Structure 1
Amino acid sequence: MNIFVYFESNPEFFLFSVFLLSLLVGSFLNVVIYRIPIMLKREWKADCIGFLSDELDQKEFNPEQYAHHINEETFNLSVPRSRCPSCGHKITALENIPVLSWLFLKAKCSQCQSSISIRYPIIELSTALLSVLVAYYFGVQWYTLALLVLTWTLIALSMIDFDTQLLPDNITLPILWLGILLSVLGISSISLMTSVIGAIAGYLILWFVSQIFKLVTKKDGMGGGDLKLLALLGAWLGWQALPLILFLSAFVGAIVGISLIIFLGRDKNIPIPFGPYLASAGFISLLWGEQIKQFYFNLAGI
């Protein structure tokens, strides 16, 4: 029996399968969120060392000074194995079961008993729940699988930006192009023209905003990653979704930013990552964008 037919005739099993798969993906996202920024920084270090060695003569550049950077152990998404940051204990397969292992271990390392952050099961469970929401809303189709990939990407980008204020190109750009490719193949719900215009408009809108802000304040108010993230959302959701995404992200971002300054005394000069707000607004627009716009039009009597 075709798997799509089976899922359509057993929607509960379909949602349960998405839940289990997304729990595993959430566990992998924890790895991505932690390791991608470290991998990027190591790559930048290597590029800087290579540049210095090319530009400076031997008297000015001492390779031994940078040997510990050059000879660092292999570090990518699969190597080395995950380990406890306190004692170095390598995490076993039984200790790496999403959510359940954290509960079974009582949020402590099995060797040194140091605390394991609740953030890990929260990301795993949030990934699963948001994925089930997407699967329930869009049903059994190839486009749903693509939207699950988009959802997982937005979660990873949000957390990386929250931690490091980075939105890595090696995540953002491939997913942006995937959104356009889906339109080319006819899998997406929007046309190729709508997708391309959405990507272009998404980038240019925030580019103009950032340039105006820099002209007025003489400061950089937005990173290039934010521009590419909105371009990504435009490629997937179309240019028509951009006004709502911008409104929701700016509204929530302003509330959170003002709250941090007033209630927690955060320095207003410390930048606040905008990526999580863009990603959240994009996800809301994906599921309920039409309903929100219709509610507004009814409220305005249009």
Structure 2
Amino acid sequence: MAMDTGIAAALAAVLGLLVGSFLNVVIYRLPKMMERAWATECAQLTGAPAPSAEPFNLAVPRSACPHCGHVIRWYENIPVLSYLALRGRCSQCHTRISLRYPLVELAVSAVFAGCLWRWGLTPTAAAWIFFATVLLAAALIDWDTTFLPDSLTLPLLWAGLIASDLGWIDLTLHDAVWGAAAGYASLWLVYWSFKLVTGKEGMGFGDFKLFAALGAWFGWQALVPMILMASIIGALVGIALKLNSGLREGGYVPFGPFLAGAGLTAMVFGPQSILRALGL
């Protein structure tokens, strides 16, 4: 049985590399798809000329180098191996390719293998694979653009509720529902309290939805450990970026990646491990 689990985990790791390659496409293209949709809506409302109607989605056009436009051939798009063979550079213009691409592929591969190893070929493994993969995409998109797309956070929330109802995760539907409600309401209250006091927006509505999704997967009891971890690490990273003049325009740091980090930590070690790590 252990051998079967090991083989399944190895095959899952390979599948994870392929999914990770696609996830890189999602992370890069989804924000641009959102911006195009907003531009089209604005043009319709104002009567301005419509933006480019050329197809742009997760399938088309084919991936290309953003610097020289070189269309990436299939053998240049093999997860991790192509990056190593190309020595991290475009085959045409030799511009450096971000190391994040193979790291995302390896991270998703580790998620697939780890979940199969821990839970076997079960719906539970599939549920947590979905959770971690979507959470990783949302975190990186938020870090890059400060967008937390509804097309990621809302399915993540609903998936948590469904998984709890079907018994795929160790959480009752009652706790999942109240976890989602408490997660959303808590950050909603923080947002409006901060805005009333300072007149500024301290976070985006996407953070409410992401925290609600975490509540749906872990229950209301896990919200305090996760928000503590996200807040402390987020503050430390923000201070470090400020000291190194690394803050983006406006002096803000997106909160979603730190919520995602707390969620992944809770998935691997359990929510209470966060409190122990913080000495609480």
Say yes or no: TM over 0.5: yes
Deviation at 1:265, TM superposition (A): 6.2
Could you tell me which amino acid in structure 2 is paired with residue 103 of structure 1?
L
The range that moved more, 149-158 or 8-17, is 8-17
Q: Which whole-Å CA distance do the structure 1 matches of 2:163 and 2:197 have between them?
A: 39
The answer for the alignment partner of 1:112 in structure 2 is 93
| Pair 1:274-2:268 in alignment | no
Alignment deviations for residues 83-135 of structure 1 (CA, whole Å, 9 cap, x no partner): 11122121111111001001111112222222222121111112222333333
Deviation at 1:17, TM superposition (A): 1.4
Q: In structure 2, the residue corresponding to 1:10 is in which secondary structure?
A: helix
Asked whether the 8 Å contact 1:108–1:115 carries over to 2, the reply is: yes
The answer for the alignment partner of 1:170 in structure 2 is 151
| Pair 1:225-2:206 in alignment | yes
In 2 relative to 1, CA 272–188 (structure 1 residues): closer, same or farther, beyond 3 Å? same
Asked whether the 8 Å contact 2:154–2:209 carries over to 1, the reply is: yes
Q: Which whole-Å CA distance do the structure 1 matches of 2:268 and 2:40 have between them?
A: 42
In 2 relative to 1, CA 165–141 (structure 1 residues): closer, same or farther, beyond 3 Å? same
Q: How many pairs align?
A: 280
Q: Which whole-Å CA distance do the structure 1 matches of 2:33 and 2:139 have between them?
A: 18
Asked whether the 8 Å contact 2:222–2:272 carries over to 1, the reply is: no
The answer for the alignment partner of 2:242 in structure 1 is 261
Q: Which whole-Å CA distance do the structure 2 matches of 1:273 and 1:213 have between them?
A: 16
Could you tell me which amino acid in structure 2 is paired with residue 95 of structure 1?
E
The answer for the alignment partner of 1:3 in structure 2 is none
| Pair 1:245-2:239 in alignment | no
| Pair 1:81-2:62 in alignment | yes
Deviation at 1:295, TM superposition (A): 4.2
Q: Which whole-Å CA distance do the structure 2 matches of 1:164 and 1:85 have between them?
A: 17
The answer for the alignment partner of 2:39 in structure 1 is 45
Asked whether the 8 Å contact 2:225–2:271 carries over to 1, the reply is: no
When the two structures are superposed, what TM-score results if normalisation uses the length of structure 2? Answer: 0.93
The answer for the alignment partner of 1:288 in structure 2 is 269
The answer for the alignment partner of 1:20 in structure 2 is 14
Deviation at 1:261, TM superposition (A): 1.5
Deviation at 1:185, TM superposition (A): 2.0
* Larger-Rg structure: 1
When the two structures are superposed, what TM-score results if normalisation uses the length of structure 1? Answer: 0.87
**1:207-222 matched pairs, under 5 angstroms:** 207-222=188-203
Deviation at 1:11, TM superposition (A): 2.0
Deviation at 1:152, TM superposition (A): 0.5
**1:6-155 matched pairs, under 5 angstroms:** 9-53=3-47, 63=48, 66-67=49-50, 69=51, 71-155=52-136
Deviation at 1:269, TM superposition (A): 4.6
Alignment deviations for residues 183-219 of structure 1 (CA, whole Å, 9 cap, x no partner): 2222222111111101100000101111111111110
Asked whether the 8 Å contact 2:63–2:71 carries over to 1, the reply is: yes
Query: Share of identical aligned residues, percent?
Result: 44
Deviation at 1:155, TM superposition (A): 0.8
Q: Which whole-Å CA distance do the structure 1 matches of 2:247 and 2:258 have between them?
A: 18
Q: Which whole-Å CA distance do the structure 2 matches of 1:206 and 1:166 have between them?
A: 17
The answer for the alignment partner of 1:58 in structure 2 is none
Could you tell me which amino acid in structure 2 is paired with residue 47 of structure 1?
E
